[in-house]
Amino acid sequence: MVNGPQGYRIPLDGAPFTHYIGWMNDSLSRRQVIHGVALAAVAALFEDTVPHPIIAQTVAAPLPAIGESVDSPVRLGIASYTFRKFDGPHLIDFMHQLKTPYLHLRDVHLPVAPLEDVPAHAAAYRAAGLTITGVGNVNLTKDDDADIRAKFEYCKAAGVTLMACAASHAALPRLERFVREYDIRLALHNNGLTNKEFPAPSDVLKAVTPLDPRVGCCLDVGAAMRAGADPVASIRAAGPRLYQVHMKDVADHTPTSADVAVGDGVMPVRAIFAALAEMKYAGYVDLEYEIQPDDPMPGVAQSFAFMHGVLAGLGYR
């Protein structure tokens, strides 16, 4: 590990980076490659910005030569729930620091009501240079026309066509009708073993497969692993029904495993990104960092650096 200012730590070797060391040139040592990838990724994230003081970096190293790279097919974004303790202006500032325009908004940053205010609030994020990729998770468990219509009107007012949701089996036929009426895609979220409706990605896929193809999956890879599912196999099984990925990492393979920064746990990040690239996934990979809500940026920055390093290791810029 290398210590950055005020204790922010950059992993340089050891288990977390073994997910993507297979690409290395034999003439380069493992430490040289990992050192270069990690530091270059962190430096790139915060170049020409004024970042959160805890994560300001003064170290940089050139990326090792790994052959000609191409633009990454994996688009990294943020699920705004990550910054749920912060208001909209702070969220915008954090997005600029992370240098990603892709933002999936939770109601804490784009309130559902009053509905007439939603377009202006959404426009403020777009005016800041951000791309709103969807809204949610939205609670769509109630099998009721009025409740469901209000949520679809919210999505329409935000000017987006994707709504990640917590749903119920009972509400699915009604939800399918609204999907057809509004031409808005639904991404049903798997919630782990604490949720009796859709604990695993396979439960979501089984439920949505008979429905309109605009009803698909929001794959939470952490909840998937806690439910005993293989996230890579789940990605391949969902195929074109995969509309969103909530990215995170977990400490171990147990049902009660704690979240950790991406790269510090057992999540097969390299295999996940490789599978998404292979299937030409058209959606977004949104980091949903649920720990340390009062000061998430150190862990978010570490996670983004690791993910950029993985993509570089796969030959993408």
Residue 14: inside a domain = no
Residue 192 pLDDT: 84
| Confidence check: pLDDT of 80 > 80 | yes
Q: Is residue 172 part of a domain?
A: yes
**What's the pLDDT at 69?**
63
Q: Model confidence at 68, in pLDDT bands (50, 70, 90)? A: low
Q: For 75-86, what is the mean pLDDT?
A: 98
Q: What is the pLDDT of residue 195?
A: 76
Residue 237's CATH number = 3.20.20.150
Is 78 inside a domain boundary? Answer: yes
pLDDT (0 to 100) of residue 20? 28
Residue 215 domain-assigned (yes or no): yes
Per-residue burial over 276-288, b if 16 or more Cβ lie within 10 Å, else e, is bbeeebebbbbbb
> Has residue 57 been placed in a domain?
no
| Phi-psi group of 48: left, alpha or beta (phi > 0 → left; psi -120 to 50 → alpha; rest → beta) | left
Q: Give the tens place of pLDDT for each residue, 203-244.
A: 999 999 999 999 999 999 999 999 999 999 999 999 999 999
Q: Say whether pLDDT at 61 is over 70.
A: no
Q: What is the mean pLDDT of residues 265-271?
A: 98
Average pLDDT over residues 239-250: 98
Number of domains making up the chain? 1
The region of weakest confidence among 20-34, 58-72, 107-121, 164-178 is 20-34
In the predicted structure, residue 168 carries a pLDDT above the cut 60: yes
Give the pLDDT confidence score for residue 65 in this predicted structure. Answer: 39
In a domain, 222, yes or no: yes
pLDDT at 40: 52
Q: What is the mean pLDDT of the chain?
A: 84
What confidence tier does 31 reach under pLDDT thresholds 50, 70, 90?
very low
Residue with tokens 């009972």: 170
Whether residue 313 lies inside any domain: the answer is no
Residue 63: inside a domain: no
Annotate 140-151 with b (16+ C-beta within 10 A) or e (fewer). beebeeeebeeb
pLDDT at 111 > cutoff 90: yes
Q: Which residues of 4-27 are buried (b: 16+ CB within 10 A; e: fewer)?
A: beeebebbbbeebbebbeebbeee
Domain of 175 in residue numbering reads as 69-304
pLDDT of residue 11: 34
